[in-house]
Structure 1
Amino acid sequence: MRKPVIFIHGLWLHASSWLPWIDLFAERGYEPSAPGWPGDAGTVEETRANPDAVAGHGIDDVVAHFAGIFESLPVKPIVIGHSFGGMIAQKLLGLDLAAAAVAIDAAQIKGVLPLPLSTLRSGFPILSNPANGSRAVSLTAEQFRYAFGNAIPEAESQQLYDRWSIPAPGKPLFEAAAANFNPHSPAKVDTANESRGPLLLMAGGKDHTVPETIVRATLKQYRHSHAVTDIVDFPDKAHSLTIDAGWREVAETALTWLKEQGL
C-alpha cells in the first residue's frame, strides 16, 4: 500500500502550490494530495473571486477539516505543512492522527515567546485592523515580497505572487497572536505526547514571517517528550522555500528524513 501524504498550505498560498511536491512524492512511491482549507476553491482564480468563502475560519476549523479528511484514509497519513499549515500539522500529530509530520517554517504555537519585528511586519496587513479577524485579506505584491520572497529575485517573487497567492482568513493570525494569553488557545499543541509519530521542523535562515528563532523556540517546547523531534536549517532560504526555485532541496530533505524514520 502506498503511504498517504497530505500537504497543508499556510496563509496566502493556494493548495495547488504543492503540485511539484505532489509529483515528486508520487514518483517516490507515496500517495500524495493537497486538500485546501475550508472555503478554498479548486483554483487560485476561483478562490480570489470569492474571498468571503475563506473568511472567518480559525485554527480549530482547519484542524477539524483535515481530521475529517484523515478519517477517510485507510491508514494514518504523513502530514507536511508550511507556515500555518505547519502548526496544523503539529496539532494533528499531537492528536495521534498522523503517522509523522514535517512542519516547514511553522507558525508559532502556544508557549513560543519570541516575536521578532519581521514577524510583526509580515502580519501587519491583517493584525493592523481588528475587524480583519472575521475577514479574508489579500497581500499586495510588495507585502508578499517582504513576507515570502525576500531571499529570491524580485521578478521570481512577483511570478510566485501572480501564480499562487490567494486571500487568507485573518482569524488564525489573531488566534496565534493571543495564544500566550489564552489558556484554551487553539494554537496549543500537545508537545508532551510520548506516543506520537516523529516530527521534523524546518527553518529558513532568512525567513521574515517565521524566523529561525521561532522554530528553535518551538523545538524547545517538545523537550518533555522522548518522541523523535528533529530540526533542519536552510540558512539562505526564506518563507518562499516550498514554492521558489529551490523547493526541491527542501522536498528531498523531507524525503530523506522520512526514509530514515522507516516511512
Structure 2
Amino acid sequence: MNANTTSGKAPIVLVHGLWMTPKSWDTWAEYFEARGHQVIRPGWPGIDDREAADVRSNPEALEGVGLTQIADHYERIIRSLPEKPIIIGHSFGGLLTQLLADRGLGIAYVGVAPGQPAGVPTLPLSTFWTGFPILSNPFGINGAKQLSKSHFHFTFGNDLTRAESDAIYDEQVVPSVNRVFFEGVAAAVSGKGASEVDFGRTDRAPLLIVTGDRDHVVPPAIGKAIAKKYTKTGSPAIVEYREFAGRTHRLVSQDGWEEIAEYVLDWAETHAVVGQLESQLA
C-alpha cells in the first residue's frame, strides 16, 4: 500500500486494473498528493506491493483470485481509514469501484474506462479481442495468463510506438487474474454473478464514468451503457458521464493526462460534499 498522509481533505483510494500494478497510478497519485490529498493505492491480492517482474516470475498468488475476494480486500483497507475516501478505479478497477460504491464505502466514485457490472452486456469487437487470449481457454479460469507485448500494444499502448509500449510493459504489466475476467464477462451477459450492483440504489454517493474515444478495451459505448443503466432506474443518486477525445485506455498516463486528472479531482471534490452529507445522515 502506498500512502502520503496529509490533512484537511478526503483521502483518495486508487484501484488499479487487470494486468497492471499500483505503479500505473504514479502520475495521478503524485498529482492528487500535490493537491493535498492522502493517496492510498493498494495492489490486488497476490500483487500487493510487488514489482511487476517479480509477479511475472512468480504468478501463483494470482491463481483463482476472484472479484469478491478483491473487493473484500479493498473494503478491509477502506474501513481501516479514519474517514470515508474518494474512490477512483481504472478499467477492472473501475468495476471494483462500482462494487465498493454498492457497499457504500466512499463519498464519491470515479470509474475511469471502467469494466461493466452484471447486466450491461455491451461488448464491442475490440473489447472482445482484448480478452480473447483469456476467454479462448475456459479451462484456464483459475490461471494467471501473461499478456503478450504485441497484445498489450493493441490494448493499452495504441497511442505509442511499439518500443514505448514495450517499456511500459516491462515496468508495469503482470499476468491476468483469469477468474476476474471470466466472472466479469459472464455476469455482464447473464445479469447475475460476482459483479452485481444495485443500479437503483438511492443513497449511493455521486459516481462519474470517464472514457476515451480511442480506447480499444472500454470504448465509449461501454461507458455510456453503464451510465444509462444507472440513470434509467430513476434513482436520485448522481451519475455523470464524460468522454475525452483522442484518449486511449491509458487515460491515467497518456500525454495530456493532467487534463483528465484535474477534471476528475475537481468533480470528485465538488461532489464529495454530497457524499459526505449522505454519509452523515445514514
> TM-score interval w.r.t. the shorter chain?
over 0.9
Q: 1:171-190 CA distances to partner (integer Å, 9 max, x unpaired)?
A: 11111121145564111122
| Separation (CA, whole Å) in 2 of partners of 1:181 and 1:148 | 24
Work out whether 1:210 is the aligned partner of 2:218.
yes
Residue 103 of structure 1 corresponds to 111
Change (3 A) 1:174 1:262: closer
Work out whether 1:15 is the aligned partner of 2:15.
no
Residue 250 of structure 1 corresponds to 260
Contact 1:82 1:103 in 2 (8 A): yes
- Give the match's secondary structure for 1:261: helix
May I ask how many residue pairs the two structures share in their alignment?
A: 263
Residue 27 of structure 1 corresponds to 34
Work out whether 1:192 is the aligned partner of 2:188.
no
| Separation (CA, whole Å) in 2 of partners of 1:121 and 1:262 | 36
Contact 2:112 2:211 in 1 (8 A): yes
- Give the match's secondary structure for 1:134: coil
Change (3 A) 1:2 1:163: same
**1:150-229 to 2 correspondence within 5 Å?**
150-180=158-188, 182=190, 184-223=192-231, 224=233, 225-229=235-239
Q: 1:54-80 CA distances to partner (integer Å, 9 max, x unpaired)?
A: 121111111101011111011111111
Q: 1:229-258 CA distances to partner (integer Å, 9 max, x unpaired)?
A: 111101211112212333222211111212
Alignment-mate amino acid for residue 183 of structure 2: E
Contact 2:109 2:268 in 1 (8 A): no
Deviation at 1:262, TM superposition (A): 4.8
5+ residue gaps in structure 1?
A: none
| Separation (CA, whole Å) in 1 of partners of 2:260 and 2:145 | 28
Q: 1:1-47 CA distances to partner (integer Å, 9 max, x unpaired)?
A: 43111100110111122122111111101110110001114222222
Contact 2:153 2:166 in 1 (8 A): yes
- TM-score (normalizing by structure 2): 0.89
Alignment-mate amino acid for residue 47 of structure 2: D
- TM-score (normalizing by structure 1): 0.95
Deviation at 1:52, TM superposition (A): 0.8
Change (3 A) 1:184 1:117: closer
Q: Give identity over the alignment, percent.
A: 38
Alignment-mate amino acid for residue 56 of structure 1: G
